Amino acid sequence: MIIEYIRYRIAEPDREAFEAAYARAAVPLAAAPECVDFELAGCAEDPGAYILRITWTSQKAHLEGFRGGPHFPGFLAEITPYVNAIEEMRHYRRTPVVGAGSAVPTLYDWAGGAEAFDRLTVAFYAKVLADDVVGPLFAGMDPEHPAHVALWLAEVFGGPNRYSTERGGYHHMVGQHVGKSITEPQRRRWINLLLDAADEVELPADPEFRAAFVSYVEWGTRLALANSQPGARPPLHAPMPHWGWGVAPPYRPAS
């Protein structure tokens, strides 16, 4: 991927029309398969300064694919009046320095931290052990199992990396499912019991949290089932999954 920055200087009377032109140009830009994402920002301290950032799949994809493709004419038609206002138009390579801030809480924090995941797994495995469909799979369960799975879930949802440092991480977890021959009814029951436990211990019930939570559980249980089948050879070394809010970050009414 490559990032193109285009800096503009727009005189005061033209700014409204400039932003409106880019709102229209955004339509063909968004339709271009060479474009990953884009953002036009106006300078708060210097209102005439604008920066357009476009992430392209590659420099070649931009210069040859997009410029030679069907979406370019419509894009160009909107922005042509502002070409003379360009102060810089260059491609920048990415560096490893990238990250997200903490303005949005992790699912771990939103759930209530380590104590919430402990409460959840204690309630959950009590139900599991008493259940006729999944119970037999856990007949020889280590009494520390709920605490271990709590560490796993906490780490996946953005908490401390204790499962990785204290329990062997992904490698250990995946080995626990190998050969278990989990069936689809057992997978579905596992989910149902976990969601019952989430209600029982009063994990946050807001739609955004529960949607993200269920999304992980749906993903993870499908992998667990596949990895547990006879002859399955899951990768034994893979990165720890990290789950976030997805497309629906937490709803926080404006104060």
Interacting residues with ligand HEM (CB under 6 A) = 134, 137-138, 140-142, 145, 148-149, 152, 167, 172-173, 176-177, 180, 182, 186-187, 190, 217, 220-221, 224
Q: Which residues pair with 39 in a beta bridge?
A: 53
Closest CB 201 distance from ligand HEM, rounded Å: 17
**Residue of 126, 107, 123, 111 whose CA lies nearest to 244:** 107
Q: How far apart are CA 195 and CA 198, in angstroms?
A: 5
Q: Which residues pair with 37 in a beta bridge?
A: 55
Query: Looking at beta carbons only, is 61 or 123 nearer to ligand HEM?
Result: 123
Q: Which residues contact 45 (CB under 8 A, 6 or more apart)?
A: none
End-to-end Cα separation, the chain, in angstroms: 38
CA dist 107 → 110, 137, 141, 172, 230 (Å):
5, 29, 27, 23, 34
Closest CB 251 distance from ligand HEM, rounded Å: 25
Q: How far apart are CA 58 and CA 135, in angstroms?
A: 52
Closest CB 161 distance from ligand HEM, rounded Å: 13
Closest CB 226 distance from ligand HEM, rounded Å: 11
Query: Looking at beta carbons only, is 141 or 236 nearer to ligand HEM?
Result: 141
Closest CB 237 distance from ligand HEM, rounded Å: 16
Question: Where is 80: in which H helix or E strand?
Answer: none
Query: Looking at beta carbons only, is 168 or 204 nearer to ligand HEM?
Result: 168
Query: Looking at beta carbons only, is 65 or 220 nearer to ligand HEM?
Result: 220
Query: Looking at beta carbons only, is 152 or 245 nearer to ligand HEM?
Result: 152
- 172 annotated among ligand-binding-site residues: yes
Answer yes or no: are the C-beta atoms of 34 and 57 closer than 8 Å. yes
Q: Which residues contact 40 (CB under 8 A, 6 or more apart)?
A: 19, 22, 50, 51, 52, 53
Chain residue whose CB lies nearest ligand HEM: 220
Closest CB 141 distance from ligand HEM, rounded Å: 4
Query: Looking at beta carbons only, is 15 or 171 nearer to ligand HEM?
Result: 171
- 177 annotated among ligand-binding-site residues: no
Please, what is the Cα angle at 126 between 223 and 132, to 5 degrees?
Answer: 70
Residue list, annotated binding site: 148, 172
Residue list, annotated binding site for heme: 148, 172
